[in-house]
Amino acid sequence: MASNLPTYDDVSSDTRAAMQTVVDLLPEASVVTPRPEQEPYPCDDPVGVDNKRGAFYTGNWDITVPAGFDIESFVLALPDTLGEGWDVVPSQIPVGYATVDILEEATSIVVTVSDASEGSTASLNIMGMSPCATTSS
């Protein structure tokens, strides 16, 4: 029986591209540090976005931004900056820092952008989560 799910390679590539769309809006001097790749999460895992067979991709990048960059304004304006084709996903968890979950409609990828500053280091965290995909050929 053929799966109608995209391949894991496709969703991981699409997720990194969606995350890069956000990075491209940051100042040129920003430094992106990808966290190590994780094993695919099964879609029926409790943290999954679908209750299906297959697996979903998560990407996680830390970005150091130049001193003086207004992270809170950037995060709060991001949905409007990205514009059509992106929707805000309401968060169920209240936090004390600037964060936004946005859905890229064309791919169903959710990108979370959060202020991750510590001390005098201004930084963002970008996490992307794909829809379910097939891991077999």
pLDDT tens-digit series, residues 25-68: 999 999 999 999 888 888 875 554 545 678 999 999 999 999 99
Element (H, E) at 17: helix 8-23
Q: What is the pLDDT of residues 122-134, one digit of tens each?
A: 999 999 999 999 8
Element (H, E) at 93: none
pLDDT at 1: 38
pLDDT at 117: 93
| Exposed e or buried b per residue across 54-74, where buried means at least 16 C-beta atoms within 10 angstroms of its C-beta | bbbbbbbbebbbeeebebeeb
Beta strands in the chain (DSSP E): 31-34, 41-42, 55-56, 58-64, 86-88, 99-104, 109-115, 123-129
Q: How far apart are CA 6 and CA 107, in angstroms?
A: 10
Average pLDDT score, the chain = 90
Mean pLDDT of 70-76: 96
pTM above 0.85, yes or no: yes
Mean pLDDT of 64-87: 96
**Residue 136 half-sphere exposure, CB side, CA atoms within 13 Å?**
7
